[in-house]
């Protein structure tokens, strides 16, 4: 390791408590996607206090800060998201969310704290840095169309040569860094479906077109698409996550509303499923001549890491003493709008294990009891920082 790397590691260790304090502040004061007001103000003020160039309101509620090194060189962008979810927290933590119905249940509070304190550490090294570092603090990752696309359109990647990002990852144990070259996370699309039958009294089903029965048949038939229409070597998921028919117990519903998600990695499967879901819907409704409404909305594209930049992160992570293992993993069906940055610039996205090995029960992301091991923040900052310094030293 070079003198710079040792200095960065030392600074991040010194600033670890501040990193945790910031994370807890954001955790207590969550703001939902596209409703972020105080969080971006706090972020901007932090960077201004360091003397960084700061631009607020980027693509909506985003913040972009720039640290210009003492020597000329390349430009590295680092991204962290800061929005929360519409979930009521049930962790019982002393710094639990102060707002009912809002919670940082995905780790974005940690992402933000990580990037802020990494910026502070790199600022201490400014005179020796050969290049520029752009800190992209992104709003609205959780809800499509997301904040990444609008921030890109507003110029957050102008002059950038490479971009790196990370996600604190509860499924992976503390000390692990996980990454893959090529596809890492899936395209995340949504479907909205209404089946319109004919309602009536539960005692006279023969006079109705039972939309609940049709919905049940549709959901069952839907399972054949991935099992029998999609190439088994190409991952895909179709899941109905919401169904409702607002009617009394003894009334056959005339209408059923459903919402679901479709996850794929390739446009071939994406196009196929968009068409075939409607074909299944048509065939199901034909049984009773019922009508339907169908909307397929394309969300984030897949996160596809660039090979050279993936290898760059792998080598950087191996140099970080508090990283216990670097793992090449299979892609996950989760989605992330970091995908848009990778469509514009070379880069890589990776996971940092945030699961305490001693926990008896681990709650998934987006769960009311979700939590992270806060030691993961310093690991994430070190890997991002190491990758940045290595790139600027090339």
For residue 346, what are the CA distances in angstroms to 67, 77, 151, 338, 342? 20, 10, 17, 12, 6
Tens-digit pLDDT profile for residues 291-348: 999 999 999 999 999 999 999 999 999 999 999 999 999 999 999 999 999 999 999 9
Catalytic: 141? yes
The contacts of residue 125 (CB under 8 Å, 6+ apart) are: 4, 7, 8, 11
∠ CA 294-300-306, rounded to 5°: 145
Say if residue 65's pLDDT is above 80: yes
pLDDT in tens, 109-122: 999 999 999 999 99
- What are 82-135's pLDDT values in tens digits? 999 999 999 999 999 999 999 999 999 999 999 999 999 999 999 999 999 999
275 burial level (CB within 10 Å; 0-12, 13-18, 19+): exposed
Q: How far apart are CA 1 and CA 7, in angstroms?
A: 10
The CATH T-level fold of domain 187-300 is Alpha-Beta Plaits (3.30.70)
Residue range 6-29, pLDDT digits in tens:
999 999 999 999 999 999 999 999
Nearest C-alpha neighbor of 126 from the set 47, 64, 56: 47
pLDDT at 24: 98
Tell me which architecture the domain covering 3-185+302-393 has in CATH.
3-Layer(aba) Sandwich (3.40)
Q: At residue 1, does pLDDT exceed 80?
A: no
In angstroms, the CA 331 to CA 237 distance is 13
Out of 36, 81, 83, 276, pick the active-site residue. Answer: 83
pLDDT band at 394 (very low <50, low <70, confident <90, very high): confident
Facing residues of 71 across strands? Answer: 130
Whole-number pLDDT of residue 368? 98
Q: What pLDDT digit, counting tens, does each position of 199-235 carry?
A: 999 999 999 999 999 999 999 999 999 999 999 999 9
pLDDT for 246 beyond 90:
no
83 classed as catalytic: yes
| pLDDT for res 43 | 99
What pTM value is reported for the model? 0.94
- Strand order of the β-sheet with 71-81 is 53-58, 62-68, 130-138, 71-81, 162-173, 347-355, 176-179, 325-328
User: Residue 2's pLDDT is what?
Assistant: 82
Q: How does strand 62-68 pair with strand 53-58?
A: antiparallel
In Å, how far from its chain's centre is CA 244?
27
What residues does each domain of the chain span? 3-185+302-393, 187-300
Q: Check 81, 141, 336, 337 and give the catalytic one.
A: 141
């Amino acid at each position: 390791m070079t003198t710079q790397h040792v200095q960065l590691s030392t600074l991040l260790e010194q600033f670890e408590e501040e990193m945790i304090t910031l994370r807890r502040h954001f955790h207590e004061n969550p703001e939902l996607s596209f409703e972020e007001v105080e969080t971006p103000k706090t972020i901007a003020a932090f960077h201004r206090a360091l003397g960084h160039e700061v631009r607020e309101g980027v693509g909506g509620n985003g913040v972009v800060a720039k640290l210009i090194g003492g020597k000329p060189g390349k430009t590295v962008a680092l991204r962290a998201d800061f929005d929360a979810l519409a979930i009521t927290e049930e962790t019982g933590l002393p710094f639990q969310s102060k707002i009912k119905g809002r919670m940082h249940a995905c780790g974005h509070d940690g992402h933000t704290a990580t990037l802020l304190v990494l910026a502070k550490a790199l600022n201490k090294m400014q005179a020796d840095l050969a290049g520029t570092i752009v800190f992209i603090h992104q709003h609205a990752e959780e809800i499509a169309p997301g904040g990444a696309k609008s921030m890109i359109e507003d110029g957050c990647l102008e002059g950038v040569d490479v971009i790196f990002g990370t996600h604190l990852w509860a499924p992976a144990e503390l000390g692990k860094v996980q990454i893959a070259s090529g596809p890492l996370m899936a395209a995340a699309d949504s479907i909205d479906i209404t089946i319109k039958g004919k309602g009536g009294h539960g005692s006279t089903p023969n006079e109705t077109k039972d939309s609940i029965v049709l919905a049940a048949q549709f959901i069952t038939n839907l399972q054949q698409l991935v099992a029998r229409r999609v190439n088994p070597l190409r991952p895909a998921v179709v899941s109905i996550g919401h169904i409702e028919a607002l009617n009394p117990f003894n009334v056959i519903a005339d209408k059923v509303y459903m919402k679901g998600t479709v996850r794929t990695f390739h446009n071939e499967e994406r196009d196929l499923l968009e068409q075939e879901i409607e074909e299944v819907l048509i065939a199901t409704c034909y049984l009773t001549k019922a009508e339907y409404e169908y909307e397929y909305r394309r969300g984030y594209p897949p996160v596809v890491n660039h090979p050279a930049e993936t290898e760059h992160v792998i080598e950087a992570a191996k140099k970080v003493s508090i990283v216990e293992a670097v793992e090449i993993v299979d892609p996950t069906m989760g989605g992330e709008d970091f995908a848009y940055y990778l469509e514009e610039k070379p880069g890589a996205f990776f996971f940092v294990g945030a699961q305490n090995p001693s926990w008896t029960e681990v709650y998934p992301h987006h769960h009311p009891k979700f939590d992270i091991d806060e030691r993961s923040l310093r690991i994430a900052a070190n890997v991002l920082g190491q990758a940045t310094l290595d790139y600027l030293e090339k």
